Structure 1
């Protein structure tokens, strides 16, 4: 396993007309691997005999779920366990999460572990830290979270899948209501809105930055307990969210 910085440096050396033999001796990377990267690229989709797939809609959706309610745990022999918690109040969420994991790791085993009030979707691979480089010690809101350039390219290409993953993990669609007097008669009016709540300012910025790119208007407010809510309430913006995201199921 080699991280992106190592692969970029190796390909810089290869591009400078160095032989594969000399680059291999300097970096410790096999000639076969260097040749593969030169031909197929150095993004995570090119790693290993059974590569994790970052192309298509599954990865940006799973990235949103991971940033919201996911984590990686070191297992043994360099293997990591991806765990994503899905609230039992929305049983369709666990199904959607499982489909996304299969989409990123085709052919790999996916398990469900029942916890109090939620179901953990789990999958093991040595490559999870490569496709989720946001992994690190401590809680996400206590450390810097930012996307790698290749991840940002994927989010820019499939922003609604990313937004859907974030909403389906740490967000919701609700219906508020109010009463108004019209010609002396009180009438009830209902209006939907979306909320996204996450303590990490970096993750909220990833969410709101993607909304900005999509033309979705939002506001932010602090709630009791320290977490922040991002609210989408304007009618046109809610309609966009309904068309591309929708409520949890």
Structure 2
């Protein structure tokens, strides 16, 4: 775990930053897969904690949430749009021929949502909720305007989910409930002109605004 901005820590959960969680003040953002909870608990040991928050209800972000909140006795916060999926552990899926297989592989242990998050809600350490739907129905990011730090979840990735090569990408359509809305959310991310961006997948991006602007300009 290392600090990427004041009161913001990056917790890589698998090699090459393939899946990430973050500690923002006293709130843990995302929890990786089910087996990631143990690593997060160890990383945050001894720190005062208030809650666990999600960017969205997918297994690689919420898979470890049940074990995390049970172990640390934390309330879970999730967006109003994804709260139902978090509770059931059955995320909304894009329509495709692989949908039955994805449904089998994408479930996780459901968790009761103690707080439903909406646009502008304060979270911790100066961060507020920004609604960035598309990858999931209620996908959100966490934004701190004072130093322009953004945790963007999976609106964009900073690596290929296949080869792990580093670079900005949209998430695969097959894993995205509404690709058009997600592209609109990617444009919103670029319009914020963030300085530092933490992704769900891939390394942290610094001096991010020019790279994001160039990416969305090429985006179709």
Structure 1 length as normaliser, TM-score? 0.28
Structure 2 length as normaliser, TM-score? 0.30
Larger of the two Rg values belongs to structure? 1
Pick the structure with more helix per residue. Answer: 1
